[in-house]
């Protein structure tokens, strides 16, 4: 596996609209679109910052993983995503090394990216997303 860059840092928020007041108006990072990913029960907003992005995540239902995260831990950093050139090869390598995965096959994420998650118990408590764009 050859990660190339931190793709994005996902931040769980109760309201993207409210959070954008801080990130855009105070910090000065412009949002480049809001997208709903129905399969994951989440609405996302990406704020590009150099080679990486900040991703705001708002659950679209009470049973959304993001809504459950906020209920248990409050708003805050949800995951870190690293970009790889070939996600299928990266997942095969991780499986061969015995790494516990949430997703053994990639799924579609926001912005057309292929994504998969590594279980936090395998990565020191960090929810790690592998991303191919």
| Ordered mean pLDDT values, 10 residues apiece, the chain (133 residues) | 95 98 97 94 97 97 97 98 98 97 96 96 97 95
User: H helices of 15-132, where?
Assistant: 16-20, 65-73, 87-96
Instruction: Report pLDDT for 1.
Output: 86
DSSP 111: G
- What is the total count of domains within the chain? 1
Count of C-beta atoms within a 10 Å radius of residue 81? 23
Task: Measure the CA–CA gap between 69 and 29, rounded to whole angstroms.
Answer: 25
Residue 16's domain is classified under what CATH number? 3.10.180.10
Q: pLDDT at position 50, please?
A: 94
Cα separation, 23 vs 128, in Å, equals 23
Q: Which domain range does residue 95 map to?
A: 5-132
Single pTM value for the model: 0.94
């Amino acid at each position: 596996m050859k990660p190339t860059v931190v793709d994005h840092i996902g931040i769980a928020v109760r309201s993207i609209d409210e959070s954008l007041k801080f990130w855009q108006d105070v910090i000065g990072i412009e949002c480049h679109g809001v997208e709903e990913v129905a399969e994951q029960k989440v609405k996302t907003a990406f704020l590009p910052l150099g080679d990486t992005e900040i991703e705001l995540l708002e659950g679209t239902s009470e049973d959304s993983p993001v809504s459950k995260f906020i209920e248990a831990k409050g708003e805050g950093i949800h995951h870190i995503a690293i970009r790889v050139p070939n996600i299928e090869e990266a997942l095969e390598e991780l499986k061969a090394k015995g790494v516990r995965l949430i997703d053994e096959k990639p799924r579609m994420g926001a912005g057309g990216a292929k994504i998969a998650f590594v279980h936090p118990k395998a990565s020191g408590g960090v929810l790690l997303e592998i991303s191919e764009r």
